[in-house]
Structure 1
Amino acid sequence: MEVSRTLDPNTARLLPWLIAVAFFMQSLDATILNVALPAMAHDLGQNPLRMQSVVIAYILTVAALIPTSGWIADRFGSRRVFCIAIALFTLGSLFCALSESLSALIVSRVIQGFGGALMVPVGRLTILRAFPRSELVRVMSFVTVPALIGPLAGPTVGGWLVEYLSWHWIFLINLPIGVIGCMLSARLMPDFRRERRQRFDGAGFVLFSAATLSLSLALEGLGDMHLSGPRVVLLLVAGLGCLAAYWLRALRIDEPLFSPTLFRIRTFTVGIIGNLFARLGNGALPFLIPLLLQVGLGFSPSRAGLSMIPMTLAAMLAKPLVRPLLDRVGYRRTLVANTLLLGALIMSLGLLGPATPYWLLLLQLSALGLVNSLQFTAMNTITLIDLEGDNAASGNSLLAVVMQLSIGMGVASSAALLGGFSAGGEGDARTVLDAFAATFLAVGAMAMLASMIFFQLHPGDGRTRPRRRR
């Protein structure tokens, strides 16, 4: 195995494990909460509909603070920032478990969000800087496995903990993981930082964060928050206006939060836009599939969770295949073909019904897990593979923001589609299944659109060589 010159062999072997564990803790927490909301509402004396603020507080905190992660890591060092991020996330988890009111729980979730906003981007940036380009696919494949497991295991684990223990345990399980993570970070995490100190773009951060918050609230408003049409439109216009103002400002200053020069790198440009559209489809799956199994097909929560295990196993088994496939076929052909296949598999879920054999359902989910795993790894790697020097931190943070926003857009748009297709017939089983079928067709079609974006790659893009520009 080729080892980076900046790491000793022992650190090079253990560092991906450390970052993978942190990713798992964050990704599990992102979904484990949803199943516990009714029990939490009952215990805190709240209406379950008001508990959505607990979820939104975390999402918006992460979305708003991710743009600072690259600058903070460069300014204070990756080791210190990663340790603090894990500590904040763990401390926020403890405060969540101890919360006795909704307001205290929301504040605790914000503290968690501070840690989560730094943990994943700084971990990914460290991988980008610590390992040579020839090892990047292998290491990225390994550390992204938790991002696939967490959203799938979350509902099952959360339901079991709430049913047999209490909702407090969905937060308490983070404590031992966080303590071990802090200790290992102090020993294993490389201390990368920028040699030349960069001035922080405060005004750009305000504009970009305002755009992120406005767009996120608008998207959440289409789904869970049920905001009125005029409010959603105002939030969308405000978000787009702030984004335009940020871009115009970034073009005329020397050190913006996200440099426009990033988009001179073709692989980054194609990867970031392709991520945005592809995740409109696969980002909605952790939301839609459990809902289909329970509401559409009448599965119990435990059976629905168990039915998704083959999907997770297939995603993990696909990881060792990614690098040989990309080396042999190339990023362009792999991503174009895999994106079309992903869309087709999403559409095929609309064919499921009460008469569908159980083994066929498991086969469909397994195929979807394998293809989805390949898609995540290839998209993320082609986006980052040609970033070097000053562009690495900025591009890594922008990718994290785009991933967060696109997944939110996928969930919000799929929820809006499902609600629209089932309007007026919620009590009719046939209407509900037809609504799921139409939603999967629409979501699959949205995912397929990304194939046209990935087609803009050159056949040799992503190979281990000097960076190519447009």
Structure 2
Amino acid sequence: MDATVITTSLPVLAHDLGQQPITLKLALTAYVVGLGVFIPVCGWVADRFGARTVFRAAIGVFMAGSLLCAASSSLLAFVAARFLQGIGGAMMVPVGRIVIFRSVPRSDLVTAISYLTIPSLLGPVIGPPLGGFITTYFHWRWIFIINVPISILGIYLAGRFIDNFKVEERYPLDVAGFVLSAIGSTLLMLGLSLIDGELISAKLAAGMCAIGVLFLIFYIRYARTAPFPLLDLSLLRIPTFRVSVMAGSLFRIGLGAAPFLLPLSLQIGLGMSAFHAGSITCASAFGAIFMKAIGSSVLRRFGFRSVLIWNALLAAIALASYGLFTATTPYIVMIAVVLLGGFFPSMQFTCFNSMAYADLDSADVSRATSLSSVVQQISLGLGVTIGGLVIIFSSRLQGHATVVAADFWPAFIVIGLFSLASIPLARRLPPDAGSALTGHIPVKPL
């Protein structure tokens, strides 16, 4: 809910903080940077202190970050508070997946992930219209205050229903790897967010990107010889895991921009209110919920490989179609297109998230979850950054003093192309990839 509720409020929030709406992409990126920096250590922390303990602590940190967001009066304070929220989110993402994997038989993993996602999709359903309603009729600060009772309920439920899984034989924490990966990913993500020159010079932002890439290269070289690397890149040798991470990251770059671009295009481009834009944006979540009801059957019938290829094509078309919306587009048509823009990506996520565990040993789950989770979150953050940059450059190339409706369609085309870019990697999978999870039996040619 927190991820989706803020997107419809960016124009008003930016006005109160004295910034341009596109500049607020930095707040979205800060949250993802917090995720990306701290997710790698969370698998180790969960093994050391127990899944339930870490999960409840994560919710507490997230709640504290929410309160600081509500109290923020400047862009710097707001970005710092969002970073703290990201730290809390970082501890929740991999720990939740570890709990699922260790609680559910492997043959039921796809079904479990699909069912588990249904209640979590209530957040995207409620978030956009709720954020628009609060922003339109009350104040955007209440968007973050509502996280407090939700967090308290989450802490209670986690304590009641989650076992405190621990691993007796643990790898030592890779402190050097954490420092290298944290500095590299932080500088790269923030540098890309600032390279438009709105807050700092483009040269300084480019320098941040270059240093970030350098640190990440150092980490890759270090990880090859480290006995217990923080992000174990050797797991990418497993075909199903490699495609899940690499193809999934390309797809998520495209999709990560959609929740940021769509509400802005409806409000800034088409002049809708925050509440009206939120009521359209939330349609994607209804499409995602419907997909979860049939996802297991589709995978059983067609298998991971075929679904990943054809569904990526349909998702790319649906996401790129957002750029065709105009002030004269009927409301029902927008709802239908956004509904499909939730259905197809949700199918893709179920594939990637399930397939990642198809051929993993139980001993590799924590490390694999850390690696896949951090790549996923950084990809989503890159989507926001790339979407914002395309809008800014489109506006400048067309000579617009401010962002207008015509500046958005190139961004939607770009995010559709990123979704298409995942197809060549998916094509490398064998027809029976992950069949132990889906039960799919490929038809042999005569």
TM-score by length of 1: 0.84
- Structure 1 residues 357 and 108 mapped into 2: Cα distance closer, same or farther (>3 Å)? closer
Q: What are the residue-to-residue correspondences of 1:431-446 with 2, within 5 Å?
A: 432-446=404-418
SS of the equivalent of 1:422 reads: helix
Question: Residue 339 in 1 paired to residue 312 in 2?
Answer: yes
- What residue is the counterpart of 1:213 in the other structure? 186
Q: Distance in 2 between matches of 1:227 and 1:331?
A: 44
Aligned equivalent of 1:167, options 133, 137, 140: 140
* Cα distance in 1 for residues equivalent to 2:119 and 2:376: 15
Deviation per CA, 1:206-239, whole angstroms, max 9, x where unpaired? 0111111011112211469554332233222222
1:121 aligns with 2:94: yes
C-alpha distance in structure 2 between counterparts of 1:442 and 1:95, whole Å: 34
Q: Any idea what SS the aligned residue of 2:166 has?
A: coil
Corresponding position: 1:295 with 2:293: no
1:47 aligns with 2:22: no
Contact kept, 8 Å, 1:343 with 1:447, in 2: the verdict is: yes
Alignment of 1:109-148 (within 5 A): 109-145=82-118, 148=121
Higher relative contact order (CA 8 A, sep 6+): 2
Going from structure 1 to structure 2, the CA distance change for 1:321 and 1:81 (only over 3 Å counts) comes to same
Identity %: 36
The answer to whether the Cα contact below 8 Å between 1:69 and 1:121 also exists between their aligned partners in 2 is yes
Q: Is the Cα contact below 8 Å between 1:79 and 1:192 reproduced in 2? A: yes
Preserved CA contact (<8 Å) 1:86 1:181: yes
How many equivalent pairs are there?
A: 436
CA distance in 2, matches of 1:110, 1:351: 34
CA shift at 1:169, angstroms?
A: 2.0
Which residue of the other structure, out of 149, 155, 161, is the alignment partner of 1:176? 149
With 337-346 and 378-387 compared, the bigger mean Cα shift is at 378-387
DSSP-derived class of the 1:459 partner: coil
Structure 2: unaligned runs, 5 residues or longer: 438-446
Cα distance change of structure 1 residues 282 and 147 upon mapping to structure 2, 3 Å threshold: farther
CA deviation profile, 1:311-333 (whole Å, cap 9, x unmatched): 22121111011111111100000
Deviation for aligned residue 1:158 = 2.2
1:88 counterpart residue number:
61
CA distance in 2, matches of 1:350, 1:36: 20
Q: Secondary structure at the match of 1:269?
A: helix
Match of 2:290 among 305, 317, 329: 317
Other structure's SS at 1:330 match: helix
- Residue of structure 2 in register with 1:264 after alignment: 237
Match of 2:48 in 1: 75
- Equivalent position of 1:415 in the other structure: 388
Alignment of 1:420-459 (within 5 A): 420-423=393-396, 425=398, 432-459=404-431
Contact 2:129-2:276 within 8 A present in 1 as well: no
Q: Measure the CA separation in 2 of the matches of 1:62 and 1:250.
A: 20
Q: In structure 2, give the amino acid aligned to 1:441.
A: I
**Aligned-residue CA RMSD (Å):** 2.9
Question: 1:413 & 1:42 partners in 2: Cα distance?
Answer: 22
Cα–Cα, structure 1 residues 172 and 273, in superposed 2: closer, same or farther, change >3 Å? same
Q: Cα–Cα, structure 1 residues 193 and 426, in superposed 2: closer, same or farther, change >3 Å?
A: farther
Between 1:437-446 and 1:102-111, the stretch displaced more is: 102-111
Q: Does 1:188 align with 2:161?
A: yes
Deviation at 1:69, TM superposition (A): 0.7
Stretches of structure 1 lacking an aligned partner (at least 5 in a row): 1-27, 466-470
